[in-house]
């Protein structure tokens, strides 16, 4: 990545950073879009791209790279087919003024919050599988401990409910804005044992995610959808868990974007948007349990696939700096290798099963991306499309967790889990879960 300094400050701190990183633009007509081409060797932030596109030319005309060869109005030299605020920004700039000091565009990439919402470090479908696996492990502990009955109105049919709370914080980088966020949600599901070596079930999920960005502004995202899952245990000790999930994500964000033109005239204002996405996730987890009395331990392995299709949307505001985000896609393929241990403790009222787990996760896909946008007030038939880049992904990180399951009489279970993300370059993530499970 190309940065004007090695200090860990956002790109917005450097008013002239990035202008030289964009070549004299070529206009590429492809798929009906006019694209401002950037240097392949330079990673460009949104602020750097905006600054370069809005800079004046040698004839004191603003937005030289954005307007290109498109016609301008006589006298004011404002571009034709631009909205009023953007046209005013791109008009004639008086000569002889000093270069700007500060005044970077600001506002960052509001859409990156939607991408994070669609693609957080831990998938909800993965969490459903882990919770269901914890239930299965506690069932084994019950059989070994012998302190609880397994009574149910409908043998083999179980209802479960759990509530989650997550703290997810992102570090600030030159390419992406940092934020502090929290997410609260729940899952309600039912499972049954159609044969003596398999459990299948369905859960519905909802969560609300709220974040505050470090430089001002914030976002909210509501996620909801179903999860189908199954657990297979064809022989003693071995198991395989599968899950498939769809989530719809509806978001909103609010921010501010500013630009200080070469004549020290400031343009800017509040912006808002309503990003959305459809996320699909599939998981395959497997492992083998070794038992020694009440102790159960064994290796775990998971293969995880996620795909998110993000909707196109336009920011709202009156500054002329609002953007139109094009539709985008994200794909992630991860593997996790780890281990889990649990111990069944029999009591007079039931069985307690404390458990711990840890894994190493590797990301195979989800590389550095270019997000394509246009100015929302660029009303030309072929508006200029430009791109800014996201951070390179962290390929390797770790999860550690622990929990406690209480198996009581009449088929009731109560459980609590905690899991933390460790060693990630950008994210700190902690998630806690409490829930109950009832044999119907």
What's the pLDDT band for 116 if we cut at 50, 70, 90? very low
Q: Residues 395, 339: contact at Cβ < 8 Å?
A: no
Q: From residue 261, how far is each of 92, 96, 175, 190, 319 by CA, in Å?
A: 11, 13, 22, 59, 13
Give residue-wise pLDDT tens across range 49-70.
Answer: 999 999 999 889 999 999 999 9
Q: What is the pLDDT of residue 36?
A: 56
Give residue-wise pLDDT tens across range 241-294.
Answer: 999 999 999 999 999 999 999 888 889 999 999 999 999 999 999 999 999 999
Q: What is the mean pLDDT of residues 307-322?
A: 97
| pLDDT for residue 113 is more than 60 | no
Q: According to the per-residue pLDDT averaged within each range, which of 20-24, 78-82, 168-172 is highest? A: 168-172
Q: Higher confidence at residue 22 or residue 274?
A: 274
Among 86-90, 104-108, 176-180, the range scoring the smallest mean pLDDT is: 104-108
Q: What is the pLDDT of residue 55?
A: 93
Give residue-wise pLDDT tens across range 406-424.
Answer: 998 777 899 999 999 999 9
Strand partners, 219: 211, 253
Q: What is the pLDDT of residue 391?
A: 94
- DSSP-derived pairing of the beta strands 198-213 and 238-260: unpaired
What's the pLDDT band for 104 if we cut at 50, 70, 90? very low
Give residue-wise pLDDT tens across range 201-242.
Answer: 999 999 999 999 998 999 999 999 999 999 999 999 999 999
Q: What is the pLDDT of residue 416?
A: 98
Q: How far apart are the first and last CA of the chain?
A: 57
CA gap 178, 390 in Å, rounded: 12
- Give the residue extent of every domain in the chain: 11-89, 112-439
Query: The pTM is what?
Result: 0.81
Whether CATH 2.60.40.10 fits 112-439: no
SS3 199: strand
| pLDDT for residue 134 is more than 60 | no
CA gap 274, 111 in Å, rounded: 9
CA gap 16, 385 in Å, rounded: 21
| pLDDT for residue 35 is more than 70 | no
Q: Residues 326, 310: contact at Cβ < 8 Å?
A: no
Q: What is the pLDDT of residue 103?
A: 40
For all residues of the chain together, what is the average pLDDT?
83
Q: Higher confidence at residue 108 or residue 330?
A: 330
Residue 49: what are its φ and ψ, rounded to 5°?
-65, -45
Q: What is the pLDDT of residue 54?
A: 94
% residues pLDDT > 90 (the chain): 67
**Cα angle at 63 between 106 and 178, to 5 degrees?**
15
What the block records as the tokens of 149 is 């009955």
Q: Residues 48, 36: contact at Cβ < 8 Å?
A: no
Give residue-wise pLDDT tens across range 161-214.
Answer: 999 999 999 999 999 999 999 999 999 999 998 998 999 999 999 999 999 999
Give residue-wise pLDDT tens across range 353-370.
Answer: 999 999 999 999 988 899
Strand partners, 260: 266
| pLDDT for residue 108 is more than 90 | no
CA gap 236, 351 in Å, rounded: 21
Q: Higher confidence at residue 346 or residue 5?
A: 346
What's the pLDDT band for 8 if we cut at 50, 70, 90? very low
Q: What is the pLDDT of residue 223?
A: 98
| pLDDT for residue 382 is more than 70 | yes
% residues pLDDT > 70 (the chain): 76
Q: What is the pLDDT of residue 15?
A: 30
| pLDDT for residue 37 is more than 50 | no
């Amino acid at each position: 990545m190309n940065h004007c300094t090695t200090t860990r400050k956002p790109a917005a701190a450097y008013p002239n950073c990035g202008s030289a990183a964009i070549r004299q633009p070529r206009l590429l007509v492809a798929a009906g879009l006019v694209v401002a081409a950037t240097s392949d060797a330079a990673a460009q932030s949104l602020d750097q791209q905006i600054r370069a596109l809005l800079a004046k030319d040698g004839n004191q005309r603003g937005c030289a790279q954005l307007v290109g060869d498109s016609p301008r109005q006589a006298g004011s030299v404002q571009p034709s087919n631009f909205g009023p605020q953007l046209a005013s920004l791109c008009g004639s700039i008086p000569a002889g003024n000093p270069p700007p000091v500060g005044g970077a565009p600001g506002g960052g990439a509001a859409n990156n919050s939607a991408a994070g919402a669609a693609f957080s470090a831990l998938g909800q479908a993965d969490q459903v599988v882990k919770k269901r696996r914890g239930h299965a492990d506690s069932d084994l502990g019950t059989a070994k401990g012998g302190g609880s009955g397994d009574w149910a109105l409908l043998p083999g049919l179980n209802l479960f409910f759990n509530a989650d709370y997550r703290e997810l914080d992102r570090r600030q980088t030159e390419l992406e804005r940092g934020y502090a966020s929290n997410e609260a949600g729940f899952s309600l599901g039912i499972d049954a044992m159609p044969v003596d070596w398999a459990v299948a079930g369905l859960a519905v999920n909802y969560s609300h995610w709220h974040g505050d960005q470090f430089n001002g502004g914030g976002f909210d995202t509501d996620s909801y959808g179903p999860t189908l899952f199954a657990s297979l245990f064809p022989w003693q000790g071995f198991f395989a868990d599968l899950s498939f999930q769809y989530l719809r994500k509806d978001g909103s964000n609010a921010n501010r974007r500013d630009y200080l033109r070469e004549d020290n005239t400031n343009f800017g204002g509040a912006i808002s948007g309503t990003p959305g996405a459809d996320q699909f996730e599939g998981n395959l987890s497997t492992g083998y349990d070794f038992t020694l009395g009440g102790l159960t331990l064994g290796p775990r392995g998971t293969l995880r696939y996620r795909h998110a299709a993000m909707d196109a949307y336009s920011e709202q505001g009156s500054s002329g700096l609002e953007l139109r985000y094009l539709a985008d896609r994200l794909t992630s393929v991860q593997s996790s290798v780890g281990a889990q241990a649990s111990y069944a403790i029999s009591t007079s009222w039931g069985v307690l099963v404390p458990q711990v787990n840890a894994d190493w996760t590797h990301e195979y896909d989800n590389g550095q991306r270019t997000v394509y946008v246009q100015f929302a007030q660029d009303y030309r038939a072929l508006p200029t499309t430009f791109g800014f880049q996201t951070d390179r992904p962290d390929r390797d990180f770790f999860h550690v967790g622990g929990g406690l399951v209480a198996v009581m009489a009449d088929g009731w279970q109560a459980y609590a889990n905690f899991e933390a993300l460790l060693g990630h370059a950008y994210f700190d993530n902690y998630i806690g879960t409490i829930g109950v499970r009832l044999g119907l």
